[in-house]
Structure 1
Amino acid sequence: MSGDVEWVDEEAGPVVRPYAVTGGRTRSSSATFDLLSMAVATGTPISAGAHLGFQHRRLLHLVRRARPIVEIASDSGLPIGVIKVLLGDLLDHGLILVRSPIPAASAPPESLLRELISGLRAL
């Protein structure tokens, strides 16, 4: 797909198949992304050797502030698989940072919960 040309049909919407947007790739060349991972643009200028299409540049615009990957997919209107491949390209070029979601805190020990309940009953 060439630089800034978006292939659309006024009535039908996008007419470019997702595999054409990703160059036929179904997986990112970088690490896999969790749907709740946060992506944000680094602000690094795009190098002359980076062959990024319209959708890459559009995603860079969407991640000016940190956003979850699932939200990026929703706002872009592209399938999540396509988003992962395109974000992988941007990550490879150093144009974005991706952070894994913070794991949920582990449950407190049962003894602590029992002490809390006892303390509340004593009030």
Structure 2
Amino acid sequence: MSDSDQRWYDAEAGPLVRLYAVTAGRARVAGEQQLDLMTVIHADPDAPDASEAGHEPPLSPEQQAILRLCSPRPHPVADIASDSGLPLTVVRVLLGDLLALRLIRATPPVPPAQLPDARILRRVIDGLRAL
């Protein structure tokens, strides 16, 4: 094994897979949905079991891990990236694929313009304390 080959091989962990191989060279999400850091991902309970061998196209181990992560409860995109140990850009591409397969749903965060005014919330809190 040459010096350059040893740099990409760990005897205990096995050969490393480069990230572009996980996403098939893609760096952007396919489709129109923007996946913000706070977009909440829900595993679709009505979707067919994606871990079955007959699922077409076959899911990657990373996609299966994301589905397992989101099955018990929804997770924001940032938490999925953190918990999976994958870079955010890779997670977004994989989530885009899962969205296209309709195995997950994405709920975008509420835009700040639609949130209630802080002064109104303060008055409601003050009113509740007065009770």
User: Which TM-score band applies after superposition, normalised by the shorter structure?
Assistant: 0.7 to 0.9
Q: Please give the per-residue CA displacement for 1:62-93, whole angstroms capped at 9, x wherever unaligned.
A: 11111100000000000000000000000000
Choose 24-33 or 100-109, whichever is displaced more.
Answer: 100-109
Give the 3-state SS of the residue equivalent to 1:35 in structure 2: coil
In structure 1, the residue matched to 2:30 is 29
2:69 to 62, 68, 83: 62
Identity over the aligned pairs, expressed in percent? 41
Contact 1:50 1:93 in 2 (8 A): no
Question: Against the structure 1 CA distance between its residues 51 and 100, is the aligned structure 2 distance closer, same or farther, given a 3 Å change threshold?
Answer: same
Q: Is 1:74 the equivalent of 2:74?
A: no
Gaps of 5+ in 2: 1-8, 124-131
Alpha-carbon separation, structure 2, partners of 1:41 and 1:9: 34
Counterpart residue type for residue 35 of structure 2: F
How far has the Cα of 1:12 moved from its partner?
Answer: 5.8
1:91 to 99, 102, 105: 99
Query: Which has a greater percent of helix?
Result: 2
- Residues 105-116 of structure 1: pairs in structure 2 closer than 5 A: 105-107=115-117
Alpha-carbon separation, structure 2, partners of 1:51 and 1:32: 24
Q: Is 1:103 the equivalent of 2:103?
A: no
TM-score, normalising length: structure 2: 0.70
Runs of 4+ in 1 over 3 A off after TM superposition: 8-14
Give the 3-state SS of the residue equivalent to 1:83 in structure 2: helix
Alpha-carbon separation, structure 2, partners of 1:74 and 1:106: 30
Alpha-carbon separation, structure 2, partners of 1:15 and 1:76: 16
Contact 1:38 1:67 in 2 (8 A): yes
TM-score, normalising length: structure 1: 0.74
Give the 3-state SS of the residue equivalent to 2:105 in structure 1: strand
How far has the Cα of 1:14 moved from its partner?
Answer: 7.1
In structure 2, the residue matched to 1:4 is none
- Number of residue equivalences: 108
Alpha-carbon separation, structure 1, partners of 2:107 and 2:12: 38
Gaps of 5+ in 1: 1-7, 117-123
